[in-house]
Amino acid sequence: MKAVILISGNGSNLQSIIDSADRIDLQISCVISNNRSAFGLKRAESAKLQTAIIDPELYNSKEAFDRELISIIHQHRVELIVLAGYMRVLTPLFVSHYFGKILNIHPSLLPKFSGLNTHQRAIDASEKVHGVSVHFVTKELDGGPLICQDSVIIENSDTEETLSMKVLKTEHVIYPKVIHWYTQRRLILIDDKTATLDGKII
């Protein structure tokens, strides 16, 4: 299945997807970034993948930016859009256009700690367990139907950095697995609150 991957930064999840692309029946048509200095672009180039950069400063609104993003994605005729550390909030225009075709990975056990700085927030809240969630993207930020979660234990000695590394290791396992479910057409988004896996509500 053809996909585009959207990134903003280091691209470690992108790398895990590149490394498992054949196994999960994924063809990465293009890696798109809103940040020209994103290290993930170098990862993509090393893998001989096509890349594109869209500079947000060239657009006078989020909708104008997302229209350009839609235009680039349209050229690749893909069936899946994978957010891998993409730090822009997608507009309703974009989400509606690709309803049911957008996956995101988030570094917390949603609905806890949506948004940014999830690891420090979990530590500050004296949580004992933290983790990662993969979900369909809907118009509500980090609020689409959950597909899969995995957890890690927060030790007393954990810092934001050490907890982040624990969660990243889990992300690199869980995301390719969920993408594979999608490429096998086992995952379907029914509406903003409901998704199915193998015909059963998740």
Give yes or no: 76 in active site: no
Task: Report yes or no: 79 and 3 within 8 Å, Cβ to Cβ.
Answer: yes
Which among 97, 106, 135, 172 is annotated as catalytic?
106
- CA separation, residue 69 to residues 9, 40, 151, 195 (Å): 17, 18, 33, 25
Taking the C-alpha atoms of residue 54 and residue 59, their distance in angstroms, rounded to an integer, is: 9
Nearest to 152 by CA among 178, 173, 132, 123: 132
Q: How far is CA 37 from the centre of its chain?
A: 19
Measured distance CA(158)–CA(196) in Å, rounded: 35
- Catalytic residue list: 106
